[in-house]
Amino acid sequence: MTGQPVPVTLRVNGRREVGRVEPRVTLAEFLREELGLTGTHVGCEQGVCGACTVVVDGAAVRSCLMFAVQAEGCDVETVEGLGRDGLHPLQQAFWDAQAVQCGFCTPGFLMTALVALRERTDWDRTALRERLGGNLCRCTGYEPIVDAVLAAAEAARNPGGEAAR
């Protein structure tokens, strides 16, 4: 038995979105299936891998664990919102550090890193690895990802650095 669809209104990547969803529909499903934002990947569907990470009201959130109705009135950022005018500096840092291989985990890492860089830009390698620890990658061995985020943090600390915008 399914629930009756309910209205949901949220802001996604700066744009007001309105939909009707069954209460059991996850935010990940809503983003992917209703809004066509397929950059949010669904991996484990248990909140373990981090592939579905999006930013909700400034916090990194596992969208496979959050219902779309819980995002009512929230500001949601997805990986599609990063590169509106070319590559975002964080995306560029991932490219430069070769931190992308199969790419499945990349959107979740980018969104987690974005929040981390908004929190601070003085990360050391150990603290950053811990901060990113909830995201799993099976291809890169993590070092290129950490290198990329540290490079983006360095760029953000310098005049003209925009990695945390």
In the chain, domain spans: 6-80, 89-157
Q: Which two tokens stand for residue 74?
A: 């929230």
Domain 89-157 -> CATH class: mainly alpha
Domain 6-80 -> CATH class: alpha beta
CB 9 within 8 Å of CB 16? yes
User: Cα dihedral angle (57, 147, 98, 119), rounded to 10 degrees?
Assistant: 10
pLDDT in tens, the chain (165 residues): 568 999 999 999 999 999 999 999 999 999 999 999 999 999 989 999 999 999 999 999 999 999 999 999 999 999 999 988 899 999 999 999 999 988 899 999 999 999 999 999 999 999 999 999 999 998 877 999 999 999 999 999 886 645 555
> Which DSSP helix (H) or strand (E) runs through 61?
strand 59-62
Q: Please determine whether the domains at 6-80 and 89-157 fall in the same fold group of CATH.
A: no
| pTM for this model (two decimals) | 0.92
CA 4, 42, 117, 163 dihedral sign is negative
CB 21 within 8 Å of CB 44? no
